[in-house]
Structures are given as C-alpha cells and as structure tokens.
Structure 1
Amino acid sequence: MSPTTVAPREQPGDPRCTRAGVPGVVPPESASAGRPRLYALDGMRLMAALGVLCWHWLGSRSLPGVWHGDTAGLMPLGHLIGAYSWTGVQLFFLISGFVICLSCWGRPLGDFVTSRVVRLFPAYWFAVLATSAVLWILPAVWCGHTPRPTPSRILTNLTMANTPLGVDDIDPVYWSLWAELRFYVLFGVLLCWGLTYRRVVAFLGVWAFLGTIAPSADLPLLGLLVQPDYCWYFIAGVAFFLMHRFGPNLLLWSLVGYGYLMAQDRMRGIIGGYEYDTHHHLSWYLTMAYVTASYVLVAAVALGRLDRVRWKWLTAAGALTYPLYLLHQEIGFEIITRLRPHLAPYPTFFLVLAVMLVLAHLVHRFVERPLAPRMRRMLDASFREIRRSAQPPAPGRPGGGRP
C-alpha cells in the first residue's frame, strides 16, 4: 500500500505549485518529498473495514444459517453495534476522497491510473478467485443452498465492472468498488487538465449541483455517474484534503456543510435497505451520529489535530484493510457456520476475526507486495511509450511517433 503522507501547506498561487506552466500543480518529486505519514488515516481505514465486518457478522439477520439468524438474541450488544456499523462504508468514501487527491496531486493521468490499478486489482483478483473456489468446494449451509458461481460470472467479476453488465458480485461487499471506480473516472477526467486549487473547487461545486438535481432529473446516466446517495462523502473528502494542503476557508467548509446536509437527507432512504437485513427499525439519529463521527475524524486529520498520532503499527494495520474487506463476508460465513456448533457466539466471532486478519496479512504479504511493483513497472513503461509516441520528431529525423 502506498504511503499516506502529509503534503506541505501551500497557498494558492505559491510558485512551488507550478509544473509545466500550470499553476497549482506540484512536480512529483516535490509532492512526495519530506512528508510525514498520516498514520491516523491508516487506523481509520481499518476501523471502517472492521465496522463493515461487524455489520455482516453481527448486524445482519437476513441469512438464517449464520447464528441461526438470531444475532440479536445471541449477542445483544454485538448486534446493537453491528446494526449501525455499515456506516463504515461512508467513512471509507470520505477517506477515499481525501487520499485520492493526496496521492495524485501534481502527477499526470498515467500515474493516477497506475496507482489505482496496482492498489485495487491484485488483492481483488485473488479475492474473486479464492471466494469462488470456496463457494464451489464447500456447501453454503448459511443460506440453505450452494450458490456456485458460473465460469462466466467469475471472469466478468475479474473486470470489477460486472455491475453495469447486470452480473452479480461473487461477494456482495464488492458493490462499493463500483462506486469507487465511478469516482476515479470523474476525477481522472479532471486530471486530464491538471489539478489546481481552482479547478478542483469548481469540480466539487459542479458535482454537488449535479448530485442535487440527479434524483429528480429522470436521467439514469446522470444518477449513475454522480451517485447522489454517496457523492457527498467523496466531495467532503476532497474538500478536507484542500483544507489540509492549503488551509481551511469558508468556501471549503460550505462544500463540506452542504454535502453533510444532503447526506443526511439521502440517509433517510438508505436506512430502509439496512432495516430489511436487521429485521427491525434503525434510528436515523444514531445512524447520523456514526456518520457525523466519521466527518469529525477526517476533519481532524485535515486540520492537523491528529498529526501527533505516529504509532507505526497503524501502517501494518492499514495494510490489512483492503484484503480483509474483500474476503470477510462469504469466506467468513463459511467458517462461522462450521465453528458455531462447537464454540459460544463471542469466542466464535473473535476466533474467526483472528483467522481473517491472518488471511488478510497473507494476501498483503504474498499477493499485493509481490504483484503491485511488477504491475507498476509494466504500466509505467506503457505510459512512457505512449508519451514518447506523442512527442514531435527531433529535428532532422523523419517521421514521428507511432500512430
């Protein structure tokens, strides 16, 4: 996992913010030099992943084979926490807006694409194949049938773009990756012109406007692109990054505040889907307390309030986040249903959690760490070749680059 680092505080128009004549863009070597790591964000990522895990393992009661569908009776406190911890996804999206802007500021589009591909796909490919293998080999006693995925479904899932094709995820947790991909595409379009303070603020303003009108516009494509239920967290994350880099001001706080107000409104509809899984009413007030805490945590990072958090173990903890998120649901259910007859509920929960953390570490150690650098080198070489082909021929040399 690439480091989460602190950018030096700059002012709009600062001469350091110029590359190739584009104001506000920092050269890659300047952008990466001398930044202390933001350890707090690593910890928040793991906290968000554990929240989603607790939702699936403790909060949801829609699968009768897991805990006999009675987590509320077997683990009342665990169920109370888990019933609302799906809001870890909202924290993920806030962090994503912050980190994406942090990692690609001052870098060309090719570097952004490379960083996202090597970050997302190695562990994802492994998770799709491993989960598919488990679903093929073991009977899914937790849902009463064996949902063996077809070869075509497995291969389509490997693209991470199965949702728009109408192909179900191998593991339902992958739904959020499709939301992330759409955010990356929108931000990648902005990167084509180069990131500047002014352009990013304008981008956030336009996105917020489109997110506001999308629910009533009766334009499915608009809703698909701007994500009116979740765009507010990405927008706030990017605005928090701008505060972190350039300092807070009323305009940035207005973007965050407006997005928060829109998010609480959209939350009224989102809660209903989770009530279906909990089989009981969920409090809007308690849900928004979770979401508000996420905003406060990321704001604290943006304003430097958590700079003193420098526990190096958080780096290792953050590295477990993505593989743990990808693997915990289907495989976790399989393990829980086999241990449950032999152990009490809470010991079962913590033992399976330990197993999944070990598995996440193994995926990071033996899949992500070896594959990511190799993929990065190959993609960097590809983009260098594309850039060379676009350059005019040197004087005295016939021809140009490749067509």
Structure 2
Amino acid sequence: MTATAGAPAPSSTGQGGGPADDAGKESADTGPISAISPADSPVSPVSPASPTAARPLPPALPQTPTPSPEGSRPSRNAPVRLRALDGLRLLAALMVAAYHYGGRGGEISQAWGSSPREQFPTASTYFAYGCLGVQIFFVISGFVICMSGWGRPLRSFFASRVSRLYPAYWAAILIVTAVFALPWVAFKSVSPSDTLVNLTMLQQPIGVDRVLGVCWTLWAELRFYALFALFVVLPGANRQRVILFCAVWTLGAALADAANQPFLELVLMPQYAPYFIGGMGLYLIHRYGHDALAWGIVGLSFLIGQHYAVAELWHAPNPSFFSYRSTLGIVAIVAFGYLAVALIALGKFHWANWRWLTLAGALTYPFYLVHEHLGWVVVEVLHQKLNIPSYGTFALTILLMLFLAWLLYRFVEQRLTPVIKRSLTAVRVR
C-alpha cells in the first residue's frame, strides 16, 4: 500500500491494504478489500444446512436457487445470511489496519514520531503480516460476487456494484482531502484536478495521484467485476459457465504472466486472479455441494495464489528492511483465508448467527476506505500531542475509525445507495 496519498500504485498483491471488495450493503465482498455489502453477499440464496432462520433477501437477490442445467444437486432452498462471512471481512480489514499502523514504515512513522518497530517491538513483527488481509478480501469477493450475480440481469448487477462502491468512496475522498488541507496537517495532499479524477475510481489507469492509498485494491475489484459481468452475468450464470470462466481465466492469467505483456497482465491480473477464482470455486461448493471440479478450482487457485503472495512479500533477512515475513507464515495466512471461507461455504459456521456481525460487515468497507490516511492524523494527535501510550493510541484509533465508518454507513450509504440503485435500474418509458 502506498505510504502517502498520491504515491504510485503498488505492483504487488500484498504490499497494500485491501478490500474493497467488498461486503457492505450490496455484496458480501471490495472490497473491496472487496466492496461487499450486507445486502449482496452474506445473504445466500442457497445454503447447505441452516439451523437458524435468516433475514429475507433483498429484492435484488434471488430467493431460490436457479435450476442447474447440468443436473447437479443444488443446496437447500432456505435463504441464509452468512454472518460469519461478515465477521471474516471485518477481521481482514483489522489485519490491514494493524499493518498500516504498526507493520510498516512511511508516513505512519512520522505520525508516531518514530518507527512503529520502536513503538511495538514485538507486535510489529506480527502486524507486518496484516497486509495479507487483502488476499482474504479477494477470496471473499470471488465468493460474494458469484453469489450476488447469480440469476441477476446485467443492468441489475451493474447497479448493485455502482451503488455499493461509490457513496462511501466519494465521502472518503472528500473527507481525506478536506482533512489533509488543514494547515496543521503535515501530510501531502493531491492536486484539486487529481482529486476530481479520483472520484471516478479510475485514477490508476489514468496515471494520477491517489487520494486513498487503499484504492489500488478497488481497481483490482473493478477489473474482476468487468470480467465476471462480461463472461458470466451477461450470458447468464450457471455452474458450467462459472467453471469454464474459472478455467479459462486461470490459464489466461498464467499465459499473461509468461508472455510479460503489460496489457494482458493489466486485464487478467495474474497476481490477483487466483484469489477471486478460488472464491468462485468455493461458492460453487456452497451452492451445489462437494464437487471434484469445484474443489479442483479451489486447490489450483490456492497453489498459485500462495506463490504470488510469497513472491511479493518474502525477502531474505535484511536489517535495512522494516520487516521480515517467513515463507511459512505467508503461506499459512493465505491458507487460513481459503480455509475460513471454505468452512463458511460448507455451513460449519451457521452457529455464528449474531446480528452484530451484520453491522460489522456493513462497517468493513467504509472503515477500510478511511482508516489509513485519517489514521495518520489521529495517531499523531493522540500519541504525540496527547501523550497517550502506543497501544492505547492504536486501540483508540481503531475505535475512532470504526465510529467514522458507522457514520458513513448510517448517513451516506444507507441514504444514497438505494437512491443510486433505483436510478440505475429504473426503466424509462418513452
């Protein structure tokens, strides 16, 4: 992730923070770090066995499973909200926040007044692994987008994504820009022109400075949405089509990496594709039960995904680097993300049906958007000006960012998302 607003986008999978994908009110994704929303993702139209009755699905989501043309066994029909997925999303976001506050250098060192390694001599070693929350976000996003796009026409899918991603994002852009413009805030802000471009969420391909460091993951999410919409939603989602899409994307991403062609790498995202593909495979297992092809997709995507995570985050021990992550630690956290989503997909966490998890999932996306850059300002005020100890500052900053996320959810997302969705799905009569 970038250390400053406006820094160039990272080229690696794990060096930033992520999620846009996505869960919140329209998806369970980036999220970005996945943008997922309570309405789209955690509510599953088909779940293997649910001990508890769940909330009714929002109108945009199907209440019953689409019949499988291949004759595969669909799951039971009772709609179930996958609240454990909401909780996992928040956990991934907190991992990224720990990384940004105590697991890396850059502007956060300026906020603390010294390196986070001095502030957290032991914990900083573990905080450095928090950037892998992005990979977990992407796996969740693959699961949620596959679920939310099932049985949905392209127009509805487009409206759900736009209405979910943009309201909190616009608010975060404006808030961070306003705060960084304050005379006593020392952190760099981007130019007014670049700020306006940032409102489109296309600042990275255009090549302008970013207001939010975490928005590189949203760019990955947008490309995933476009591929999924074109090859799955547009022709109509079914098991065979999703399996074919996963297979072709896996092979295409590998060939793009081997060919070293920037355009192919930009479109097919070889370093991120395995996580989205793995999430889609896990949704097929959730929807249709155990299946050799679906498990093959998940297994292959994990094997490739852990390679990219290690390639981007591992380096030989070097005292001049802020942190050292072991190969085993990186692989273990990636495996944890796949395993956690797999257990949720198989219904092993239906007992985790607490209502507060739905709110936790709703706060994940706005929290992810605002926590990094505004966190620098809050840490500096609490630690250097109010002399609050490091761990107290860390905890208070997390709580304040969660409170701001709640304000964005309550007064921005809940008000604007339905309006934007209705506007985009309304049929005009001539």
- In structure 2, give the amino acid aligned to 1:36: V
Q: State the partner residue of 1:305.
A: 348
Q: State the partner residue of 2:66.
A: 17
Q: Deviations over 1:279-311 (max 9, x none)?
A: 232211111111111111000011111112101
Pairs within 5 Å for 1:206-355: 206-271=248-313, 279-341=322-384, 342-355=387-400
The secondary structure found in structure 2 opposite 1:84 is helix
Q: Deviations over 1:316-368 (max 9, x none)?
A: 11111011000011111011112112111011111111111111100000000
Q: State the partner residue of 1:392.
A: none
Q: 1:9 to 1:272 in 2, by over 3 A?
A: closer
Query: Is the counterpart of residue 48 in structure 1 residue 92 in structure 2?
Result: yes
Distance 1:280 1:86 in 2: 12
Of residues 111, 121, 128, the one that matches 1:66 is 111
Contact 2:111 2:380 in 1 (8 A): yes
Contact 1:239 1:256 in 2 (8 A): yes
Q: Deviations over 1:197-245 (max 9, x none)?
A: 1011000000000111111213211111111111100000000000000
Q: 1:326 to 1:310 in 2, by over 3 A?
A: same
Please report the TM-score for the alignment, with normalisation by the length of structure 2.
0.81
- Greater Rg over alpha carbons, structure: 1
Q: 1:353 to 1:280 in 2, by over 3 A?
A: closer
Which has the higher mean CA deviation after the structures are superposed, 90-99 or 210-219? 210-219
Query: Following TM superposition, by how much is the alpha carbon of 1:268 offset from its aligned partner in structure 2, in angstroms?
Result: 2.9
Query: Following TM superposition, by how much is the alpha carbon of 1:24 offset from its aligned partner in structure 2, in angstroms?
Result: 7.6
Contact 1:123 1:364 in 2 (8 A): yes
Pairs within 5 Å for 1:86-235: 86-141=131-186, 146-190=187-231, 191-235=233-277
Q: Deviations over 1:76-98 (max 9, x none)?
A: 23312211011100110000000
Q: 1:273 to 1:336 in 2, by over 3 A?
A: farther
Distance 2:214 2:317 in 1: 17
Query: Following TM superposition, by how much is the alpha carbon of 1:48 offset from its aligned partner in structure 2, in angstroms?
Result: 0.8
Query: Following TM superposition, by how much is the alpha carbon of 1:9 offset from its aligned partner in structure 2, in angstroms?
Result: 5.5
Contact 1:323 1:363 in 2 (8 A): yes
Q: State the partner residue of 1:85.
A: 130
Contact 1:17 1:23 in 2 (8 A): no
The secondary structure found in structure 2 opposite 1:148 is coil
Distance 1:98 1:130 in 2: 31
Distance 2:367 2:322 in 1: 26
Distance 1:309 1:289 in 2: 23
RMSD, aligned CA = 2.5
Contact 1:230 1:263 in 2 (8 A): yes
Query: Following TM superposition, by how much is the alpha carbon of 1:67 offset from its aligned partner in structure 2, in angstroms?
Result: 2.0
The count of aligned residue pairs is 370
Query: Following TM superposition, by how much is the alpha carbon of 1:137 offset from its aligned partner in structure 2, in angstroms?
Result: 1.2
Contact 1:160 1:178 in 2 (8 A): yes
Distance 1:274 1:246 in 2: 43
Contact 1:61 1:278 in 2 (8 A): no
Q: Deviations over 1:23-47 (max 9, x none)?
A: 489xxxxx9x841210001001111
Q: 1:228 to 1:139 in 2, by over 3 A?
A: farther
Query: Following TM superposition, by how much is the alpha carbon of 1:139 offset from its aligned partner in structure 2, in angstroms?
Result: 4.2
Distance 1:236 1:155 in 2: 35
Which has the higher mean CA deviation after the structures are superposed, 238-247 or 258-267? 258-267
- In structure 2, give the amino acid aligned to 1:178: W
Which has the higher mean CA deviation after the structures are superposed, 36-45 or 256-265? 256-265
- Structure number having the greater helix percentage: 1
Distance 1:107 1:260 in 2: 28
- In structure 2, give the amino acid aligned to 1:319: A
Query: Following TM superposition, by how much is the alpha carbon of 1:272 offset from its aligned partner in structure 2, in angstroms?
Result: 5.2
Query: Is the counterpart of residue 8 in structure 1 residue 49 in structure 2?
Result: no
- In structure 1, give the amino acid aligned to 2:293: L
**Identity value in percent:** 39
Please report the TM-score for the alignment, with normalisation by the length of structure 1.
0.86
Which has the higher mean CA deviation after the structures are superposed, 182-191 or 269-278? 269-278
- In structure 2, give the amino acid aligned to 1:99: V
Contact 2:128 2:323 in 1 (8 A): no
Distance 1:51 1:86 in 2: 7
